[in-house]
Amino acid sequence: MKGAGGCHHRRMVERGQNRKNVSMLAKEIMTTSLVTAGPETPAEEIASVFLRRKINQVPVVRGGTLVGIVSRGDLVKAIAK
C-alpha cells in the first residue's frame, strides 16, 4: 500500500455545508496523504490500515489507474458472508 493525494469525504461535506465555501475547489480540501492498495493487497492489511489511519475507504490502484475502492462496509460484508 502506498500514499498518494485524494479527497477526504468528511472534510468535503463539513466544509461544503457552509454556503460561503460552496465555490471551493477539490484541491483546496483534498487530503494529500492518501493511502492506496493494489488489487492483490490482502484484506487483513487493508483492515489494519483502516484502524491505524482512522480512515473509512482505501482506493485500489493498478499501474497508476484507479480500479476500485474498498470501504469498511465492503470489508465487513465480505467477512460476514
**What's the pLDDT tens digit per position in 27-79?**
988 888 889 999 999 999 999 999 999 999 999 999 999 999 999 999 999 99
Count of beta carbons in the 10 Å neighbourhood of residue 9:
12
pTM of the model: 0.69
| Residue at grid coordinates 467477512 | 79
Identify the sign of the CA torsion 49, 30, 26, 18.
positive
Q: Give 81's Cβ-side CA count (13 Å radius).
A: 6
**Domain segments of the chain as ranges:** 2-80
Calpha distance 12→14 (Å, rounded): 6
Q: Which CATH class is domain 2-80?
A: alpha beta
At 71, give phi and psi (nearest 5°).
-105, 165
